[in-house]
Amino acid sequence: MPAPEPDFSRLGDARIFIDRTAYADQGAWHAAAERLRKTDPLPLIDVEGYVPFRAVTRHAEVAAVERNHTLFWNTRDSVLLPRARVEQSRALGMDIKTLIHMDGAEHRATRALTNDWFKPANLRQEIGQKLPVLARRFVDRMLEHDGACDFARDIALYYPLHVIMSILGVAETDEPRMLDLTQKVFGGEDPDVGGREGEDPVVIFMAALAELALYFKGITDDRRAQPTTDIASTIANGRIDGQPLGDLETAGYYSIIATAGHDTTSSTLAGGLEALIRDPAQLRALKDDPSRIPNAVSEMIRWVTPVRHFMRQAQDDAVVGGVALEKGDWLLLSYLSANRDDTVFAEPFRLDIGRANADEHLAFGIGVHFCLGAHLARMELEAFFRELLPRLEHVELDGAPESMATTFVGGLKRLPIRYRVRPAA
Ligand code: HEM
């Protein structure tokens, strides 16, 4: 049985960073974050069972900490988790080390293996032609649902999953299993999404990780025997200091790309569509002028900010936002809060597809860990809206959307809609 969750209520507004259920009510979450940005921008959160940390709520300080990667490290604990869970998986040797858990030369060398693959020119060559075809297929799937669907579950979940799995060389028939496994490895907090109420998250996590490692071993062996230009082959045949990656490192690399690459993008797709449905004038403006789609996508990414946080640890004494930190202190970088900071974004609580500085959002982070898949995510989202909007004759909400209760990666888990979509021309 999982340990019962602690009572976070004594933390007041600052509970929003540690209590996963707070994320399920986005309105209340954002109201609390706004109060903190104005009155207590780096609150200290000290709860039994977790490392004490300060939450960084404002855009300026999140960016400053990210840019100073020699002073603030990711470490192996770059995601906020209960200490018992970390210790248990570490004791069993089951904590995977991926890019987000590395710093310095190790991070540079490991990232260099795939960095060029994710650059726009290579992406255009590898998947530029394929994306519009896939986008069409998933918009066509809306036709099959006959005018009503849960867009989050029926469409948004599967399109980025299919893109990422196909570039990783996963067979389409294996995708549902891979979805289940990757959600268990990186998203096991919300019982509706990653696991089941009453199951121990560590057990879920470890069983899923072992199965993923086994699966990806097969792909690695295949690409070593028959190299191609895809990302799976790039990882399988990559070398650091002349040595290929070991089985667990290879599985970790595939897994971080698989997991980072779908929930994030699907959450943005569903959250972006919801915001457009709620503001028909902007939906119309985007339909009338598709050249606005790239900026609208930047704004949707700011709006949704599906990666809620990453952690950093100070490697020396430091001062952040006027607060003195000691070596070893932890910071939680709240991208979700920073992206509603009204000192950077005018009217931050409004989705504005024409926002001039939409690209100043921190949803992809900034600095050496800047999201490796940022261009890919943008290309996917743009391709989908390019296909959907000209064919979308009508759309409305068909019930209340629901958000995931997770502290790490999240967004809508339900978006019931009614619509009329034209068949492809
Ligand atoms: C809208 C979609 C996405 C969002 C909002 C997002 C967000 C982020 C964030 C916040 C980080 C950490 C940045 C930092 O610490 O400074 C990150 C890292 C990363 N992302 Fe994404 N991501 C998205 C899509 C993707 C996709 C499609 C991939 C697929 C390859 C991907 C792969 C990665 C990887 C591998 C890292 C680790 C990079 C490193 O530590 O060097 N992401 N992402």
Express each pLDDT in 130-176 by its tens digit.
Answer: 999 999 999 999 999 989 999 999 999 999 999 999 888 888 899 88
Q: How confident is the model at residue 205 (pLDDT cuts 50, 70, 90)?
A: confident
pLDDT(196) > 60: no
Residue to substitute in 61, 364, 378 for testing ligand 1 pocket (most ligand atoms within 8 angstroms of CB): 364
Which pLDDT value is given to residue 251?
A: 82
Residue to substitute in 59, 62, 78, 371 for testing ligand 1 pocket (most ligand atoms within 8 angstroms of CB): 371
Which pLDDT value is given to residue 87?
A: 85
Could you tell me the distance, in angstroms and rounded to a whole number, from the CA of residue 315 to the centre of ligand 1? 23
Which pLDDT value is given to residue 226?
A: 95
Could you tell me the distance, in angstroms and rounded to a whole number, from the CA of residue 260 to the centre of ligand 1? 6
Could you tell me the distance, in angstroms and rounded to a whole number, from the CA of residue 108 to the centre of ligand 1? 15
Count of alpha carbons within 13 angstroms of residue 412, beta-carbon side: 28
The rounded mean pLDDT for the chain is 92
Residue 367 CA: nearest ligand 1 atom is: 16
pLDDT(197) > 60: no
Which pLDDT value is given to residue 133?
A: 95
Express each pLDDT in 12-69 by its tens digit.
Answer: 999 999 999 999 999 999 999 999 999 999 999 999 999 999 999 999 999 999 999 9
* Structural contact between residues 377 and 265, judged by C-beta atoms closer than 8 angstroms: yes
Express each pLDDT in 314-334 by its tens digit.
Answer: 999 999 999 999 999 999 999
Residue in 393, 424, 385 with CA at minimum distance from that of residue 156: 385
Which pLDDT value is given to residue 199?
A: 65
Residue in 254, 217, 210, 312 with CA at minimum distance from that of residue 110: 254
Which pLDDT value is given to residue 42?
A: 98
Nearest CA to ligand 1 atom 34: 372
Mean pLDDT of 114-122: 96
Which pLDDT value is given to residue 376?
A: 97
Residue in 17, 53, 74, 43 with CA at minimum distance from that of residue 330: 53
pLDDT(193) > 60: no
Which pLDDT value is given to residue 2?
A: 53
Q: Which residues pair with 416 in a beta bridge?
A: 150
Could you tell me the distance, in angstroms and rounded to a whole number, from the CA of residue 136 to the centre of ligand 1? 25
Could you tell me the distance, in angstroms and rounded to a whole number, from the CA of residue 288 to the centre of ligand 1? 31
Mean pLDDT of 419-423: 97
Nearest CA to ligand 1 atom 41: 369
Greatest mean pLDDT among 173-182, 195-204, 294-303: 294-303
Distance CA 236, CA 213 (A): 13
Nearest CA to ligand 1 atom 27: 261
Mean pLDDT of 365-392: 98
**What six digits make up the tokens of 246?**
């070991």
The dihedral built from the CA positions of residue 415, 261, 360 and 283, taken in this order, carries a sign that is: negative
Which pLDDT value is given to residue 192?
A: 56
Mean pLDDT of 356-373: 98
Q: Is 46 left (phi over 0), alpha (psi -120 to 50) or beta?
A: beta
Which pLDDT value is given to residue 140?
A: 97
Nearest CA to ligand 1 atom 9: 364
Greatest mean pLDDT among 1-5, 8-12, 97-101, 270-274: 270-274
Stated length of the chain? 425
**CA angle in degrees (0–180, nearest 5) for 163-169-172:** 65
Could you tell me the distance, in angstroms and rounded to a whole number, from the CA of residue 57 to the centre of ligand 1? 20
Which positions ≥6 away from 79 have C-beta within 8 Å?
A: 100, 309, 310, 311, 408
Distance CA 259, CA 179 (A): 8
As a whole-number percent, the residues of the chain with pLDDT over 70 amount to: 95
Write the DSSP symbol of residue 409.
B
Nearest CA to ligand 1 atom 42: 373
Could you tell me the distance, in angstroms and rounded to a whole number, from the CA of residue 74 to the centre of ligand 1? 14
Which pLDDT value is given to residue 169?
A: 84
Which pLDDT value is given to residue 177?
A: 87
Express each pLDDT in 211-257 by its tens digit.
Answer: 888 888 899 999 999 999 999 999 999 999 999 998 878 888 988 89
What residue ranges line ligand 1, CB within 6 angstroms? 66, 99-100, 111, 256-257, 260-261, 264-265, 268, 301, 306-307, 310, 335, 363-367, 369-373, 376-377
Rg value, the chain, Cα:
21
Could you tell me the distance, in angstroms and rounded to a whole number, from the CA of residue 27 to the centre of ligand 1? 25
Residue 333 CA: nearest ligand 1 atom is: 15
* Structural contact between residues 308 and 55, judged by C-beta atoms closer than 8 angstroms: no
